[in-house]
């Protein structure tokens, strides 16, 4: 059975899962869904109704970082896993405190208890902490797992107010993000696809480079 990746294009968690499957060259069927109209077939296999979700044989991988590791354990042609343990620590910090600050900046009405300006400052402070090490990636001249796990969230944060991000974010962080967005790999995993429907022809990854 070809693994099935249930995904939502703009979700940063789903984005990083697609990046890993694409770079690993792992064959999988991509099923794009609309979050407000989740298909019954997705809900039957999803433990919590969130994306991404990888359905591989009898197994379910329901966390985005676990999907990345699942793919890279099978094939890691660009050496994304070749990074120090510090890279895992950075991923945990950005999955935790950074994402929390991002959400409280972006979704103000959902978090009336928080000051969005304080949350923005906290997120920007974490990005500033990365700036001295970017050369142009976190661990040298090539991207690693930490870059590709964190950058989808940096993109989401920047898109809240792109002009303001351009004024306030450290230049190394801005170059890091722009380098990521210019990658053929990024373009390959961001096609605009209609939602999956039963009976349609499978959309198979890896996708051809644009």
Q: What is the pLDDT of residues 106-159, one digit of tens each?
A: 999 999 999 999 999 999 999 999 999 999 999 999 999 999 999 999 999 999
**Hey, how many other C-beta atoms are within 10 angstroms of the C-beta on 153?**
20
| Number of compact structural domains in the chain | 2
Cα gap 123→100, rounded to integer Å: 9
CATH number at residue 41: 3.40.30.10
101 & 168 share domain: yes
139 & 92 share domain: yes
92 & 174 share domain: yes
Write down the H helix ranges in 46-144: 64-74, 85-93, 99-106, 116-130
Q: What is the pTM of this model?
A: 0.97
Sign of CA dihedral 68, 69, 74, 75: positive
180 & 193 share domain: no
Nearest C-alpha neighbor of 130 from the set 160, 173, 191, 87: 173
9 & 54 share domain: yes
Residue 131 domain-assigned (yes or no): yes
14 & 40 share domain: yes
Residue 22 domain-assigned (yes or no): yes
Residue 157 domain-assigned (yes or no): yes
Residues 18-77 pLDDT 10s: 999 999 999 999 999 999 999 999 999 998 999 999 999 889 999 999 999 999 999 999
Cα gap 191→18, rounded to integer Å: 11
Residue 210 domain-assigned (yes or no): no
Residue 143 domain-assigned (yes or no): yes
Cα gap 78→98, rounded to integer Å: 27
Given a contact cutoff of 8 angstroms between Cβ atoms, the answer to whether 57 and 33 are in contact is: no
Contacts of residue 10, Cβ cutoff 8 Å, sequence gap at least 6: none
Which residues span the domain enclosing 197?
4-78+186-205
């Amino acid at each position: 059975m070809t693994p099935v990746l249930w995904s939502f294009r703009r979700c940063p968690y789903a984005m990083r899962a697609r990046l890993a499957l694409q770079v690993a060259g792992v064959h999988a069927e991509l099923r794009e869904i609309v979050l407000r109209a989740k298909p019954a077939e997705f809900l039957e296999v999803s433990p919590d109704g969130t994306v991404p979700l990888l359905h591989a044989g009898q197994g379910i991988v329901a966390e985005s970082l676990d999907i990345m590791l699942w793919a890279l354990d099978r094939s890691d042609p660009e050496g994304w896993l070749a990074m120090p343990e510090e890279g895992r620590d950075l991923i945990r910090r950005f999955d935790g405190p950074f994402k929390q600050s991002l959400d409280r900046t972006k979704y103000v009405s959902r978090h009336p208890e928080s000051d969005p300006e304080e949350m923005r400052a906290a997120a920007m402070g974490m990005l500033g902490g990365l700036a001295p090490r970017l050369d142009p990636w976190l661990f040298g001249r090539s991207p690693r797992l930490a870059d590709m796990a964190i950058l989808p969230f940096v993109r989401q944060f920047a898109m809240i107010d792109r002009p303001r991000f351009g004024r306030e974010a450290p230049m190394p962080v801005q170059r890091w993000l722009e380098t990521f967005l210019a990658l053929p790999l990024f373009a390959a995993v961001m096609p605009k696809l209609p939602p999956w429907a039963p009976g349609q022809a499978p959309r198979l990854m890896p996708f051809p480079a644009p």
